Amino acid sequence: MSHPATATLTTPQPAVFEAYLHRLQDRLCADVEDLDGRARFLRDAWQKPTDAKLQGYGTTCVLSEGAVFERAGVALSVVNGPALPPSATKTRPELAARPFKAMGLSLVFHPRNPYIPTTHANVRLLSVGDEAWWFGGGFDLTPYYGFAEDARHWHATARDAVGEVLYPRFKRQCDEYFYLPHRQEPRGIGGLFYDDFTEGGWDAALALTQRVGDGLWQAYTPIVARRREMAYGERERQWQLLRRGRYVEFNLVWDRGTHFGLQSSGRTESILMSMPPLARWDYDVVPEPGSAEAALLSDYLITKDWL
């Protein structure tokens, strides 16, 4: 990965990215409601108290018990604090005592039908005093049942969002990041992940991050359209809940964004918005050989060049 550098090529304009985040949140919420057709988002606007360690504001939008989505969340936050938390300074200790400003939009869609995958996306900007700034972001897909057509489409859209040069690097970083070491398995089939990104200067890094934010919907909705009417039963539902347990494990144990939010005294309800409404843990589950559940593990939750 690249490391944060002083912005020298173009003058940073965080307000431009902040305005984009507001537009992106409004657009995604409207699109999800149209696609779901039944449920509507609860919009929870919040402001940090003036005496809090962390200052700032945000809007957490949560949709529950929809026709398509059992839970969907789209959260925007703009905060600043006196010093970066430990999760953000492991590779840059020289910035540990510096005041920071962080802004970003995170989303997660947990579908009701087990044949529709869960998806997660994030775009963010972190700046440290007047010294450094860097972008991060990406999107990834967590299927419960594997379909090669869906995987190829997902990765083709990811490649189109960032270009032929950056895609292999961001895909590899996604595969490495969304991995559960204690389970020795990936969380899903990957996509894009990048952090500490300043390449090309402010304008280029901003434009790339906006393409990632805009690309998620283009990547996800054709998959929903193909799978939303597929019939399923209790077997598929219980497998979905079991695999959601892996999603919870990753977010709570390994995810740097979750750690950053909690360590910096962020808003807990917004940070844990990404949790599925239901999940389960069973002891030592081994799918039946030759089953669709076994195929997910052997053919999809692997490092693979889908294109």
Question: CB atoms < 10 A from the CB of 196, how many?
Answer: 17
Indicate the helix (H) or strand (E) that contains 101.
strand 100-111
288: its two tokens:
């039946």
Q: Which of 120, 153, 155, 259 is catalytic?
A: 120
**Residue type at 247 in one-letter notation:** Y
Rg (CA), the chain: 19
What is the per-residue burial (b if ≥16 Cβ within 10 Å, else e) of 208-242?
A: bbbebbebbbebbeebbeebbeeebeeebeebbbb
The separation between the first and the last C-alpha atoms of the chain, rounded to the nearest angstrom, is 23
- From residue 35, how far is each of 38, 68, 88, 93 by CA, in Å? 9, 8, 36, 45
Q: In degrees rounded to 5, what are phi and psi of residue 213?
A: -60, -40
The two most distant CA atoms of the chain are separated, in Å, by 58
User: CA–CA separation, 178 vs 233, rounded Å?
Assistant: 29
User: CA–CA separation, 198 vs 114, rounded Å?
Assistant: 38
Nearest Cα neighbor of 230 from 108, 117, 109 is: 117
Based on the residue annotation, tell me whether 120 is a catalytic residue of this protein.
Answer: yes
Nearest Cα neighbor of 45 from 86, 90, 87, 78 is: 78
27: its two tokens:
């657009």
DSSP 8-state class, residue 288: P
* 188 touches 141 (CB < 8 A): yes
Active-site amino acid positions = 120
